[in-house]
Amino acid sequence: MPWKECSVMDERVRFVGRLLDGESMSDVCREFGISRKTGYKIFNRYRQEGLEALCDRSRRPVRYANQLPDPIERMIVTAKKDKPHWGARKIRELLVRKLDVDIRIPARSTVHAVLDRHGRYCYPLTVSDQASRYLLACEALESTKEGPVIQVFARLFKERGLPTAIRSDNGLPFASPNGLYNLSRLSVFWLRLGIAIERIQPGKPQQNGRHERMHRTLKAETTRPAGANILQQQVRFDGFVKEFNTERPHEALEMKAPAELYAPSSRTYAGLHEVHYPFHDRDVLVTHCGRICMHRKRINISHVLAGQKLGIKEVDEGIWLVSFMHYDLGYIDLEQRTLQTIDNPFGTRLSPMS
């Protein structure tokens, strides 16, 4: 079996988990080879901000020596508020006209960076039907956090039924770079509902071409200019969805509108059902730290599976097969107290319709 790569994030999760289990700070720090000062810093970050605080933090300086002066930055922001349709090039020209000749004018790229930094971000969550192009959801969200996204999908499943599979890219919140097999809490939620995961290959957006083409139209018609706030942007999205689904002819649909062809799924949403493992020796619950306990030993699995029930089965002396639903996750070596991963059971598998 291949070696499992251990990241700094995994080590910090294990470190915090040992402390939460009641072990002393001195003993755990000694075993992990760090000072008590560092140990307390890691643990305090976890208590204040949760698991996300265990990721590496930026070492970027608070201020650079050649950083743009605050008055000029405020001028750029004010100009954008006064002229919301103007871009970086025109706003820079405005600075050239207003500032004295002995003041250094920022480059267009610098003006653009200031506008990005002070702008309000909107993350549109879009869901469409592959066959009919029907746009099922277009929600203006303030971040890519999984909680609000799961709520949107739960509401969508109640209204439209459950799909057989969901195709997505490999970014947040659909996948997690730190999760086991790049799983995220959202993709685990899909799996629990019996929905297969289809991930396009990195750098190949054409594998989800229909959805990407819709994105291009959505951006052109609703974000130039964008709404002043999330609510205004959602109003624009709602208008786009109505027109896209019921009025806009599609050449690939013989000039029909998606609403003329779309049919909801016959699979109804009834929440999450209990998971059973009749062919395994027993089941175990993943703790909030992403670990399971076996024979008084703690084995790290993944924080995205926290709260989920796994099945384990001994296949050799001290070697246990670990499964989530009908997916085999890998093998646990009790001697090493590690999970040895196998071929990705959630690898790229695209349906024939492309």
Domain positions in the chain are 8-54, 70-118, 123-260, 282-341
Q: Is the dihedral of CA 284, 288, 292, 297 positive or negative?
A: negative
Amino acid at the residue 189? F
Global pTM reads 0.70
**Distances in Å between the alpha carbon of 290 and those of 54, 56, 296?**
14, 19, 16
Half-sphere exposure of 270 (CA within 13 A, CB side): 5
Instruction: Quote the DSSP letter at residue 80.
Output: H
Find the helix or strand (DSSP H, E) in which 315 lies.
Answer: strand 309-316
Given this model, what pLDDT does residue 85 score?
A: 73
Residue 331 DSSP code = E
- pLDDT under 70: residue ranges of the chain: 1-7, 59, 61-66, 120, 347-354
**Residue position matching structure tokens 């009025």:** 247
Cα–Cα dist 126/114, whole Å: 28
Q: What are residue 97's phi and psi, to 5 degrees?
A: -75, -35
The whole-number pLDDT of residue 1 equals 38
Residue carrying the six token digits 């070492």:
59
Amino acid sitting at position 232: Q
Tell me the pLDDT tens digit for each residue of 147-170.
999 999 999 999 999 999 999 998
Task: Tell me the CATH number for domain 123-260.
Answer: 3.30.420.10
Do 127 and 160 touch, CB atoms closer than 8 A? no
Cα atoms found within 13 Å of the Cα of residue 343, Cβ hemisphere only: 2
Beta carbons of 281 and 291 less than 8 angstroms apart: no
Pick from 223, 46, 214: which is nearest to 119 by CA? 223
| Count of CB atoms situated within 10 Å of the CB of 48 | 8
Annotation: CATH topology of 70-118: Arc Repressor Mutant, subunit A (1.10.10)
Q: How far is CA 138 from the centre of its chain?
A: 17
User: What number of residues does the chain have?
Assistant: 354
105 phi and psi angles, rounded to 5 deg? -85, 130
The per-residue pLDDT for 6 is 52
DSSP one-letter string for 244-303? HHHT--BGGGTTB-GGGT----SS----PPPP--TTSSEEEEPPTTSEEEETTEEEE--G
Q: Work out whether strand 291-294 and strand 196-199 pair parallel, antiparallel, or are unpaired.
A: unpaired
What DSSP element (H or E) covers 340? strand 338-341
